[in-house]
Structure 1
């Protein structure tokens, strides 16, 4: 019985190695499609051959063959490094970077696009300066497109403007850095196909793109961090963005995406935050934050989700200058009709 279990485990391992290698080669081998398909086919035939030999009773030869095959593949895999300079898509052409002078934060390359379609926008990148002593809010946007548990997360920081009630927002988004015209593949995100990007954007750009242009459902949650924690989170994001600009990294669908990177930064601020499956299923992140006291108290999560659905308000606000104020009407934690807390 023990030998049967070991044989089964070994065959499963060989099968998984064959599958992983085929996907890795298919997504990352720098050959034209015909050549890449030929190599993938050869890999699968070789892996299947070792499995067949093992099934026929051979033991040592299939293991040595599969091990040698994987050794060559992994040696090549380790040579893949993230790129710094490629022909990037317009919306990820510049990574966020920032500098500090006391309470003065300067963000370089804040994206301020006016989106016309999913792929067409009036392009604008700006240098913006923020007073950290006027940082008054952190909001979480969760944008979903109908796939259970899957969503994109954005974090928006609000700075009270001098002499008024209005608040200016800058939104951070951890995204895939695609090349111009390159489609996105979630499977490819497991196989070093894309670089990682941290983007700073005007809130109307980042939110309207998803709610009005892509037709996604966007929900806003006001996050109840202390002033010190708000500041620490923002500084951590900017430092992470600066590090990424110096040393490119690969995007990974699980280990380096919009939620997991923010969680790593939050753990530097709030000790003891536990790991949770909801950090992998990004659409469930609000439930995780709610359970740890990070959302407005006195409301059930379902009520925060219902009142935080800004999709219709964002579509009505569309081109209005007070877009951020309009989408916050009725949001728990924000005063109705004002962009103030």
Structure 2
């Protein structure tokens, strides 16, 4: 607040010749002090985290077999009441079959939360959502997200948890969930998955800050995809995440079956497939029917 008031005074002082020089000297000193303080704020994994983001996942690899540890699989009663559960699972990178791009809307068409789910055949899936890691008592803020408010976390979870939370549990406001299939060569899908695994392990040892503009759910997907599409430029349809699926469609990165985007979006809407049902063990099958 003091810094804000001094900034206002410095602007006003432009009209006051008597105080102009002193005001700007004070302002420069205050700004320099604030900048040094801000630059010295470092991310940390040792904070009082909310329970849903308290445990970090990590992975170990033995040739083509990747063991993912601490896969979240909460059993939800309500959004804030749940049974905590984690498990470990081995994934064969050679059995990776597909990547699904999920978008979920709750505040209009412009902004969506986006994440990926990796399919390994035999109804075996791993969903990974890139989010702000919130502390106890903290709520997500777009504005505070610009200023080192929260650390970055890759939430690695069972689809029954990560997607089911959004289709079946959150009702205030309700979330509308769409699932599209990424069109890419197998080796390109493998590169993206391995990039995710590399980042998950990196964040466990070297935490980073979430940033609303440059390190958010959608720009981080774009960043992980540069391993295949190094010339894919960041544009407004990625920054305005509600339009990212449309961007993927127009750049031939979705399996479309020759449908228009309007038709594809209608088929991608998965809420009606599981509305008013409990989250069953065959949830991943149900949302793909």
Q: TM-score, normalised by structure 2?
A: 0.94
Q: Please say if residues 96 and 238 of structure 1, whose CA atoms lie closer than 8 Å, have aligned partners that are also in contact.
A: no
Q: Is 2:184 the counterpart of 1:184?
A: no
Q: Is 2:191 the counterpart of 1:226?
A: no
Map residues 147-296 of structure 1 onto 2, 5 A cutoff.
147-161=108-122, 167-214=123-170, 215-296=174-255
**SS at 2:120 equivalent:** strand
Aligned length: 284
Corresponding position of 2:286 = 326
C-alpha separation in 1, matches of 2:152 and 2:269? 28
Q: Is 2:270 the counterpart of 1:310?
A: yes
In structure 2, stretches of 5+ residues that fail to align are none
The structure with the largest alpha-carbon Rg is 1
Stretch moving more, 78-87 or 252-261: 78-87
Q: Please say if residues 179 and 269 of structure 2, whose CA atoms lie closer than 8 Å, have aligned partners that are also in contact.
A: yes
Q: Is 2:102 the counterpart of 1:141?
A: yes
Name which of 33, 51, 72 aligns with 2:33.
72
Q: Please say if residues 168 and 276 of structure 2, whose CA atoms lie closer than 8 Å, have aligned partners that are also in contact.
A: no
Please state how far the C-alpha of 1:275 moved relative to its aligned partner.
1.8
Please state how far the C-alpha of 1:63 moved relative to its aligned partner.
3.1
Corresponding position of 1:89 = 50
Stretch moving more, 270-279 or 249-258: 270-279
C-alpha separation in 2, matches of 1:278 and 1:64? 42
More helix per residue: 1 or 2?
A: 1
C-alpha separation in 1, matches of 2:226 and 2:135? 32
Corresponding position of 2:83 = 122
Please state how far the C-alpha of 1:44 moved relative to its aligned partner.
2.9
C-alpha separation in 2, matches of 1:45 and 1:307? 53
**SS at 1:269 equivalent:** coil
Q: Please say if residues 317 and 326 of structure 1, whose CA atoms lie closer than 8 Å, have aligned partners that are also in contact.
A: no
Q: Please say if residues 113 and 124 of structure 1, whose CA atoms lie closer than 8 Å, have aligned partners that are also in contact.
A: yes
Q: Please say if residues 115 and 221 of structure 2, whose CA atoms lie closer than 8 Å, have aligned partners that are also in contact.
A: no
C-alpha separation in 2, matches of 1:182 and 1:60? 41
C-alpha separation in 2, matches of 1:88 and 1:255? 23
Q: TM-score, normalised by structure 1?
A: 0.80
**SS at 2:36 equivalent:** helix
Q: Please say if residues 168 and 277 of structure 2, whose CA atoms lie closer than 8 Å, have aligned partners that are also in contact.
A: no
Map residues 39-58 of structure 1 onto 2, 5 A cutoff.
40=1, 42-57=2-17
Q: Please say if residues 50 and 66 of structure 1, whose CA atoms lie closer than 8 Å, have aligned partners that are also in contact.
A: yes
**SS at 1:253 equivalent:** coil
**SS at 1:171 equivalent:** strand
Note the aligned Cα RMSD (angstroms). 1.5
What's the CA shift string for 1:171-221, capped at 9, x where partnerless? 000011111232222211111111110111001110011121112000010
